[in-house]
Amino acid sequence: MTLTYLQFHLVFIVPTLLLLAVVARRRWRSTLLTPRLGWAGTALLVVVALVYTTPWDNYLITRGVWWYGEGRVVAIVWHAPLEEYLFMALQPVLVALWLALLPASFASTPERVGRPARAAGVGAGLTLGAVGVLLLAYEPTFYLGAIVAWAGPVLALQWGFGWPVLWALRRPVALAVLVPSAYLWAADRIAIELGVWVISERYTTGLTLVGLPVEEALFFLVTNLFVVQGLVLFGWVVRGRGTTAPEARSTPGPTAGRVRTARERRAGRNSPPRTRRA
């Protein structure tokens, strides 16, 4: 059986995306984002994904980390197939639609994230990125290091901005990440088996997850994590959390009582006098 990259999209990506879109339109369960905000956030993430992933993806292709089967792609733009850019754009949409079907709310999330927590999140992401840079020094871990080093700055930004929010929503976040990841792992393995793309043995560890190179599994896990965390934090911000302290909204000012008293006095002066009943 022969499968082209475009046919891969038509078999595995487009039908699933359309099915999720139909279900989400009828049953948008997540309260993290309204449909309008959800689509706006997804569009923003698609742009970011294309801008941030394109140079990284093209560089790894030129290094020979992976390549594509003969006659499997429509056209090459820079060093990557046209279908590769299409995948970069469709994956965030697919994951966002799945997130929309999961019941979740910001009820249990903090309204603000302090500076120490932000610093810890940034530090964790940058440390992870540094580990990835170290892994680049060895050929068998080059692809693994490239993923981790590339992911580090994004995770530092997201975790630094609001890891306590993500932790409070860890269960829906995990479900939103793992289900699409498992689906894409299965599709990726089939594509590799059919020769749509070939992963270099030279730049990989040789470890597999149910027959799929661990590097490929990590890539989909990380990219789906980017999308879910980005959308959750986007919703957290646009709904007004993270900007106003709770006490600033709920605690009346020191002059509130005096203002009400003055209004009552003015109302009393302006009201007509009461008359006695006969």
With cut-offs at 50, 70 and 90, classify the pLDDT of residue 28. Answer: confident
Task: Count CB atoms within 10 A of the CB of residue 251.
Answer: 10
Model confidence at 271: pLDDT above 70: no
Please give the pLDDT value at position 241: 56
Which of 21-30, 37-46, 232-241, 249-258 has the lowest average pLDDT?
249-258
Q: Where are the alpha helices (DSSP H) in the chain?
A: 5-8, 14-26, 35-63, 82-100, 115-135, 142-168, 170-193, 214-238, 246-250, 256-270
Residue 37 and residue 113 in contact, taking contact as beta carbons nearer than 8 Å: no
Mean pLDDT for the chain? 88
Q: Residue 265: is its pLDDT beyond 90?
A: no
| 127 Rama class: left (phi>0) / alpha (psi -120 to 50) / beta | alpha
176 band by pLDDT with thresholds 50, 70 and 90: very high
Q: Please, how many CA atoms are within 13 Å of residue 177, restricted to the half-sphere of its CB? A: 23
pLDDT digits (tens, 9 = 90+) for 222-251: 999 999 999 999 999 987 655 434 433 444
- Read off the pLDDT band of 105 (50, 70, 90): confident
Please write the tens of the pLDDT for every residue from 83-104: 999 999 999 999 999 999 999 8
Tokens read off for 9: 């999209």
Confidence category of residue 26, pLDDT binned at 50, 70, 90:
confident
Single-letter amino acid, residue 171 = R
Phi and psi at 157, nearest 5°, equal -65, -45
Write out pLDDT tens, residues 183-226. 999 999 999 999 999 999 999 999 999 899 999 999 999 999 99
Record the pTM. 0.84
Which whole number is the average pLDDT over 259-268?
Answer: 48
Query: Residues 156-174: what's their mean pLDDT?
Result: 95
CA 106 to CA 90: how far, in whole Å?
27
Cβ atoms of 211 and 234 closer than 8 Å: no
Distance, CA of 159 to CA of 147 (rounded, Å): 17
CA atoms within 13 A on the CB side of 238: 15
Rounded to 10 deg, the angle between the 142-168 and 170-193 helix axes is: 150
Task: Check residue 136 and give its pLDDT.
Answer: 97
Q: What is the mean pLDDT of residues 133-145?
A: 97
Provide the angle, in degrees to the nearest 10, between the axes of the packed helices 170-193 and 82-100.
Answer: 150
**Length, in residues, of the chain:** 278
